[in-house]
Structure 1
Amino acid sequence: MSDLGLALQKAIYEKLSASLSAPVFDDVPDDTPFPYVTLDYEAVDNTTPISGKRRENRLFYLSIWSDYQGQAEVKRINGEIVDALDEVALPLATGTAVSVRVIRTETNREPDGKTYMGSVTLRIITQH
């Protein structure tokens, strides 16, 4: 059976691109102005029962980058991501996203003292 990772990434990208006030990238072009969101990485655990459809528990990580003074912009975009994806049906080209849930949001100042980073962790259960 095929991996649902690409179908899931495409669905997340499309949903966020239509919902956020900041652009979304898998690969950020040089000289892209802040703020923006990146699709960072995904971890997959096979949770298939002994018999039945293939089922996977996925953790999908997003990052938010901002040079706005303070954390307000990062927190606002984190909230937009929560509104767009938490407990929302996410149609996939193949397979099914059984559950999409935001399980963690974070903000922090980067070591340069000027850039702020936010992160959002999604837990997605897929089945195919």
Structure 2
Amino acid sequence: MQKAFDALLLPVLAALVPPSKATAGVPLYDHVPDAAVYPYVQFARAIKTPVDNLSELIDDIQLSLGVYSTFRGQEEVLFILGAIEAAMHRAVLDLDLGYPLLCVLERSDTARDQDGVTYTGTANFRITVVH
């Protein structure tokens, strides 16, 4: 599943010029390195719920992508969340196992971190996969 998201998101994020940078590129991490430079996107959480409806096995997957920025205010986080939504909402995923029926943005949110400097955002997607 992550390979399919990488294929869709990496080119979009690599070409993105966020408000805090003069050059293109927002990295996408599974594990954020200690010296990561803001802004960046991280695979934050994945929840898989198998649904066996007698005729076929379906996985209901919830995937969360986190956005992190130290740009003043929510502008940059909202900008990156918008690019993620444009790339992923109703996207056709190329999966190794299973056939994706649906990939939709369920919700997104932004907030200021407790440090008072970092702004965060989350994009929550629901993916339905038939096996």
Query: Normalising by the residue count of structure 2, what TM-score does the alignment of the two structures yield?
Result: 0.88
Cα deviations by residue, 1:26-63 (Å, 9 ceiling, x for unpaired)? 0111211000000011111112211x221111111110
**Structure 1 regions of 5+ residues with no counterpart?**
1-7
Q: Out of 80, 85, 93, which is 2:83 matched to? A: 80
1:65-88 Cα shifts (integer Å, max 9, x gaps) = 000011000000000010000011
- Structure 1 vs Structure 2 CA RMSD: 0.9
Kindly report structure 1 stretches of 4+ aligned residues shifted beyond 2 Å: none
Aligned length: 120
Cα distance in structure 2, aligned partners of 1:77 and 1:48: 36
Query: What is the identity, as a one-letter code, of the residue corresponding to 2:86?
Result: D
Instruction: From 103, 106, 110, give the equivalent of 1:103.
Output: 106
Match 1:59 to one of 56, 59, 62:
62
How many percent of aligned residue pairs carry the same amino acid?
Answer: 31
Q: Which runs of 5+ in 2 are unaligned?
A: 17-25
CA distance in 2, matches of 1:24, 1:84: 14
